[in-house]
Structure 1
């Protein structure tokens, strides 16, 4: 059984608004002897490979940095990024659905990736997803301030 997360897909404008609400700043990453700033809202998921972390971005590009997944987890916004498995961190903004199964729960991301959720982390993961959904509903329910044009 597939449980959809969002009623409608998020647009780039909506992603930027949500990123602002969650205070998702830029992330400074070491890259070939220099540092690059990357907007957190563009990160779909992170994948650990030993002492390296592979970033998967919304445009399909990837970047490998020489930091462990544990170090990267401490730099990310815990309200938006969750760790469903010891080798993965996902951005809940790009979560398409949760796929419960008797044997192994998994999640589908909007870019087509499918990530397994470890049995030990499953209940905590579901709580984090539900909390995130509630925060999104609260953001959508807030009235927006009218734009005042002064002539």
Structure 2
């Protein structure tokens, strides 16, 4: 059983627009002796591997940094990034669908990745997704109100 959350995936231009409205700054990451700025809105998901975090980007590239997922979670925008499982943080801008299975809830992202939602975090995760969708609806209404004024 598959429940689609959005009528269609967000376009790249819409993601850029939402990123500006949510004030998603670039994220400075330690990388092989120097720091690298990465646009936060281009992160699809983060995956924890021990004391390291693997970033999965919208262009298919990956980057591993020597920071824990918990430390990275505190640097991300809580309006857009949610942690459905102890090993993953996902960007709701790239959420495609939720698969509500009695045994294990799972989400699909637009890049094809599937991430499990822990049973303990499932109800909070659903509330976060609904809140995010309401925020998107408010953002969609605001530009037309500005044009009418």
Instruction: Give the whole-Å Cα distance in 2 for the aligned partners of 1:55 and 1:18.
Output: 20
Instruction: Give the whole-Å Cα distance in 1 for the aligned partners of 2:104 and 2:42.
Output: 28
Q: Hey, what does 1:57 align to over in structure 2?
A: 57
Instruction: Give the whole-Å Cα distance in 2 for the aligned partners of 1:140 and 1:66.
Output: 38
Q: Hey, what does 2:94 align to over in structure 1?
A: 94
Query: Which deviates further from its counterpart, 12-21 or 135-144?
Result: 135-144
Instruction: Give the whole-Å Cα distance in 1 for the aligned partners of 2:37 and 2:11.
Output: 23
Matches within 5 A, 1:32-111: 32-111=32-111
Q: Hey, what does 2:20 align to over in structure 1?
A: 20
| CA offsets 1:13-64 (integer angstroms, 9 cap, x no match) | 1000000111111000000000000000000000000000000000000000
TM-score, normalization: structure 2? 0.96
Query: Which deviates further from its counterpart, 136-145 or 74-83?
Result: 136-145
Q: Which has the larger radius of gyration?
A: 1
Query: Which deviates further from its counterpart, 1-10 or 107-116?
Result: 1-10
Instruction: Give the whole-Å Cα distance in 1 for the aligned partners of 2:138 and 2:99.
Output: 25
Instruction: Give the whole-Å Cα distance in 2 for the aligned partners of 1:121 and 1:8.
Output: 26
Deviation at 1:8, TM superposition (A): 2.0
Please report the RMSD computed on the Cα atoms of aligned residues, expressed in angstroms. Answer: 0.8
SS for the counterpart of 2:111 is coil
Gaps of 5+ in 2: none
Q: Hey, what does 1:126 align to over in structure 2?
A: 126
Deviation at 1:126, TM superposition (A): 0.3
Gaps of 5+ in 1: 147-151
Instruction: Give the whole-Å Cα distance in 1 for the aligned partners of 2:44 and 2:133.
Output: 17
Instruction: Give the whole-Å Cα distance in 1 for the aligned partners of 2:110 and 2:134.
Output: 20
TM-score, normalization: structure 1? 0.94
Q: Which has the higher helix share?
A: 2
